[in-house]
Amino acid sequence: MGQSFYVYNNGDLRRKDNTLQFTNAEGEKRDIPIERIEDIYVMAEMTFNTSFLSYLSQYGIPIHFFNYYNYYTGSFYPKEKLLAGQLLVKQVEHYTDYDKRIILARKFIEAAADNIYRNLRYYNGRGKDVSGYMSEVDDLRKKIPSSESVEELMGIEGNIRKQYYAAWNVIVDQEIHFEKRVMHPPDNMINSLISFVNALIYAKILSEIYRTQLNPTISYLHEPGVRRFSLCLDLAEVFKPLIGDRLIFSLLNRRQITEDSFTKELNFLHLKKASSALIARELEERMKKTIMHRGLGRQVSYQYLMRLEAYKLIKHLIGEKEYEGFKIWW
């Protein structure tokens, strides 16, 4: 696997012979071997031309854009090379057939709820008394198998997260006063942090889906819509507790991120550049972390777990093996 390349300085990206070249606002140049790049994350003002985009397409490299406030604004998704008409038909079939759709929607929420519970159990065993929240989450997740609609599932998921986020005030060793999830726009430090980390996970999942035959716009838990890759939202539910939330807990408890990491006059809505870059670096290190995969019997990285999740979904869609969302077992 290649590496993710983050751009935090304003400048220019272009093709130079058989590689990429970044030129910053001061005119300093840096060559970037394209063979090493998995995807690109642009966090600054950037100019590029069609030759550059064509070159990225040739190598199948997505590029993800974030604005001044660290909000994800979109992706350049190269022309798909792994098209499979039969799989596309199966994807649509599992959405239009409600019985098939609800099965997958339940699987995503079951995995997410299980991973949330594991996070709570982890911290409860380390001197953080969140046993009451664990009990509430456990009672709620027992309702998932009998849920009969996506709306009911989303309601259960919302109630689980309400309990989970309340527990963050116990887990985090800072005074965060975190009451509820607010997204559009985030209204405090924690919501801003969650939104940024979740957006990075969404983009990473999109990069992995691109390397499969799945269509990222057809989803089962989240309603497919215009201007978004909603299948990324489905798969992100599985990985947010494992990768995103655990990263946030670590950053806050090691005080790598504090109120000083945000621009205060904007009501904590804007991560400072150095803090945003720190989060990206820490996420990349986490994505390289490996675990012994029970099914494969070998070490796999967190990054590759995302692609394996997409492969598992494909096997479900073509009737080869029922999908089970990834669940933390340690």
Residue 5 and residue 37 in contact, taking contact as beta carbons nearer than 8 Å: yes
Task: Examine the pLDDT at 187 and tell me if it is beyond 90.
Answer: no
pLDDT at 182: 64
pLDDT at 71: 86
pLDDT at 176: 77
Mean pLDDT lowest among 96-100, 236-240, 260-264: 260-264
pLDDT at 183: 66
Task: Examine the pLDDT at 237 and tell me if it is beyond 70.
Answer: yes
Q: Beta partners for 78?
A: none
Mean pLDDT of the region 198-213: 94
317 pLDDT tier (thresholds 50, 70, 90): very high
Q: Which parts of the chain fold into alpha helices (H)?
A: 50-59, 85-96, 98-124, 131-141, 150-171, 189-210, 230-239, 246-253, 273-288, 302-317
Token look-up 């150095």 returns 274
pLDDT at 294: 83
What DSSP letter does each residue of 194-215 carry, written as one string? HHHHHHHHHHHHHHHHHTSS--
Q: Beta partners for 47?
A: 12
Query: 101 vs 25, which has greater pLDDT?
Result: 101
pLDDT at 206: 94
Going 274 to 288 to 119 to 114, the CA torsion angle's sign is positive
> Using one digit for the tens of pLDDT, what is the confidence trace for 127-186?
999 999 999 999 999 999 999 999 999 999 999 999 999 999 999 998 877 776 766 666
> Using one digit for the tens of pLDDT, what is the confidence trace for 240-279?
999 999 999 999 999 999 989 988 766 667 889 999 999 9
CA dist., res. 61 & res. 64, Å (int): 10
* Share of residues in the chain with pLDDT > 70 (%): 95
How many Cβ atoms sit within 10 Å of the Cβ of residue 291?
14
Mean pLDDT of the region 188-208: 92
pLDDT at 160: 97
What are the chain's domains? Answer: 3-61 (3.100.10.20), 85-317 (1.20.120.920)
pLDDT at 178: 76
Query: 84 vs 1, which has greater pLDDT?
Result: 84
Confidence (pTM):
0.90
> Using one digit for the tens of pLDDT, what is the confidence trace for 26-49?
999 999 899 989 999 999 999 998
Residue 241 and residue 112 in contact, taking contact as beta carbons nearer than 8 Å: yes
Query: 177 vs 23, which has greater pLDDT?
Result: 23
Task: Examine the pLDDT at 61 and tell me if it is beyond 90.
Answer: yes
Q: Across all residues in the chain, what is the average pLDDT?
A: 91
Task: Examine the pLDDT at 2 and tell me if it is beyond 90.
Answer: no
CA dist., res. 261 & res. 189, Å (int): 9
70 pLDDT tier (thresholds 50, 70, 90): confident
Q: What token pair was written down for 188?
A: 């405090």
